[in-house]
Structures are given as C-alpha cells and as structure tokens.
A = this chain, B = another copy of it.
Amino acid sequence: MPDVTIVEVGPRDGFQPIARFIPTEEKLAIIQGCAAAGLHRIEAGAFVGTAAVPQMADAEAVLAATLALPGADPQMLVPNARHARRALAAGARHLVWVVSVSEAHNRSNIRMSPADSVAEFAALLPELEGVRLRVNIATAFDCPFTGRVAPEAALDLVGRLAALRPDAEYALCDTTGRADPAHVAGLHAACAEAFPRVAAWAFHGHDTYGLGLANIMAAHGAGVRVFDAAIAGLGGCPFAPGATGNVATEDVAWMFARMGASTGVDLGALLPVARRAAALPGGCPGGRVRQAMAARPAHLAA
C-alpha cells in the first residue's frame, strides 16, 4: 500500500473539455503510460450523453482496453442510473456517482435536483452489489453559479449519501478551484468527525487559482490519503483561456516524493506521458514539474 494514492482523472476530467476528439488509440496510449508508471486507479472516462460530451463517446472501448491492463482499476463516472447501467453493461466494476451540493450546479450538470440525484442513487443500489463505488460531492466548497457553499450544506449531502453506502469512497470536489486550504481542511475534518463509518475520503481539487497543491496538503493534514489529479494538469476551462484545470499528476507525485511519501508512481516513467498529454491539440495543460524537470541537471533530477 502506498502512503498516498493518486487517482488519475485526466482521461475523464482532463480530456472532457477538449473540443477536438482525441482518437481512442491516443487516449489508450496515455492511459497505458499512466498505468505503466504506477497509476493503478484511473478514471478512464464517463458514461454520459454523447451529445453533451462528445469527447466521451468511446467510453465502452476505453473501458474495455483499460480493464485489460495489468493491475489497472478503472473507475467510470456516471451522472444517473441510465448511464450507470450502460457502464455496468460495458463491464465497469468501479463507478463514480456525482452529485453537486449546489442545486444550480446539479441542475446544469445532471439536469435534476440534488435530492433527485440522491433518490436515483438509492434506487440503483440493489444493482450495484459487488461494484466499487466512489461518490463525488461536486461544488463541495464553491459553485460557479452561486459562489461559496456553506459547509453545512455539504455535510448534509454527504450524510444523506453516506447513510446509504458508507462503504463507498467519498470525494469532496473543489469544482471551481476556489476552495482555500482552511476551507478544505475544515470541511474534511468535519466530515470525518460526522461520518466515522465512511470507508475512505478523497479530495478532488483544481488548480485554477494556483491552490491545487496547497489544498491537497490541507486535505492531507486532515487525514485524507486519496487525491485526484490529471496528467499534465489537463482540464482547463475552455471559457477561461490560460486558466488551467486539474492539479497535474506529475506535480502531486513529485511533491509527495520530495516528502518521502510513497505514491507508487515512477516519475521518470510518468514525465514522457505527461509531455505527450500536454501536447494534445486543444488541451490547456498546467503544472510546473514537467517544465522544471526538463531543465534540471541529471544529478539533481530526483
């Protein structure tokens, strides 16, 4: 067991905003590279409406190929029961259910109220026996439409879901990148105290305002050991040119390695994959380690 687990979400959260379709074989080359570098948990894609998110149209093929990789544990994001069933039919054994704390965001993202998302999750549970579950609590800190989210509202939503499936992994998601370290530490600590039966906590941050790694450290200080990150920091918002998105996987791996914490990631193997991902046409890469390492003398590269 590594000290810290990085969940590679680039193939879902990173690729999703890229308008130009990434050929399936290119997606798979990056996924294979990530897995070979030691990233076993990979959010390989989403089962969503392909009209809304055409980039995810090849989810079945990507899932099948990822399942075939030695040691890989692909998780597939699903917004509702219909798409969850599509994922299961395609062979998914690890699903990511996403609900927003913010009603405005859930309606925009999932086209129903958070309460209806919870009800649909509850109704689906009998079909999810033996399926590993991650639950993403979107807009846990801040909403793109309504701003800062009250901790009480986030706790309320987590509580309703955790009562149904405490054995799932719950991720507090900083959807906008506007959470700050105090907010992240405080909400994670409050959740851990309020819901001690929850199996695992994760933090999904964004680096839009540069706080990605600071927030990961804040969550780590509150006991979190599972962190989402995207190869090359992909996931920038296409409506905010230059505003990068997810925390870069290579930056997270580098930070923990510097602190002597194991992530299971071989950074030397990951960097060429990150460079390949950063070069994807239409992508908006972020992160620093990729560029900083390129200029290091070999004896200082570790």
Give A182 to B212 CA distance when docked, in angstroms: 17
Q: B residues within 8 A CB of A242? A: 291
Residue in B closest to A146 when the chains form the complex, CB atoms: B300
Shortest distance from the beta carbon of A137 to any chain B beta carbon, whole Å? 19
The answer to whether the Cβ of A115 comes within 8 Å of any Cβ in the partner chain is: no
Q: Using an 8 Å CB-CB cutoff, how does the interface string of A231-258 with B read, 1 for contact, 0 for none?
A: 0000001011111100010010011001
The answer to whether the Cβ of A266 comes within 8 Å of any Cβ in the partner chain is: no
Give A209 to B295 CA distance when docked, in angstroms: 12
Q: What range describes how many residues of A lie at the interface?
A: 35 or more
The answer to whether the Cβ of A57 comes within 8 Å of any Cβ in the partner chain is: no
Give A255 to B289 CA distance when docked, in angstroms: 21
Among A144, A209, A300, chain B packs the most CB atoms within 10 A around the CB of A209
Q: Using an 8 Å CB-CB cutoff, how does the interface string of A269-302 with B read, 1 for contact, 0 for none?
A: 0000000000000000001110110110001100
The answer to whether the Cβ of A213 comes within 8 Å of any Cβ in the partner chain is: yes
B243 and A210 form a contact (CB under 8 A): no
A240 and B210 form a contact (CB under 8 A): no
A210 and B289 form a contact (CB under 8 A): yes
Shortest distance from the beta carbon of A70 to any chain B beta carbon, whole Å? 31
Shortest distance from the beta carbon of A296 to any chain B beta carbon, whole Å? 8
Stretch in A38-46, A77-85, A126-134, A173-181 touching the partner: A173-181
| Sampled A-B contacts (29; CB under 8 Å) | A144-B300, A147-B300, A178-B258, A180-B255, A180-B258, A180-B259, A181-B217, A181-B255, A181-B259, A207-B288, A208-B288, A208-B292, A209-B254, A209-B288, A209-B289, A210-B212, A210-B287, A210-B289, A211-B213, A211-B255, A213-B213, A213-B214, A214-B216, A214-B255, A217-B217, A240-B291, A240-B294, A242-B291, A243-B291
Given contacts A180-B255, A214-B214, 12 further A-B contacts (CB under 8 A): A208-B288, A210-B213, A211-B255, A213-B213, A214-B217, A214-B255, A239-B295, A240-B292, A241-B295, A242-B291, A243-B295, A244-B288
Taking Cβ atoms with an 8 Å cutoff, the residues of A that contact B are 144, 147, 177-178, 180-183, 207-214, 216-218, 237, 239-244, 248, 251, 254-255, 258-260, 287-289, 291-292, 294-295, 299-300
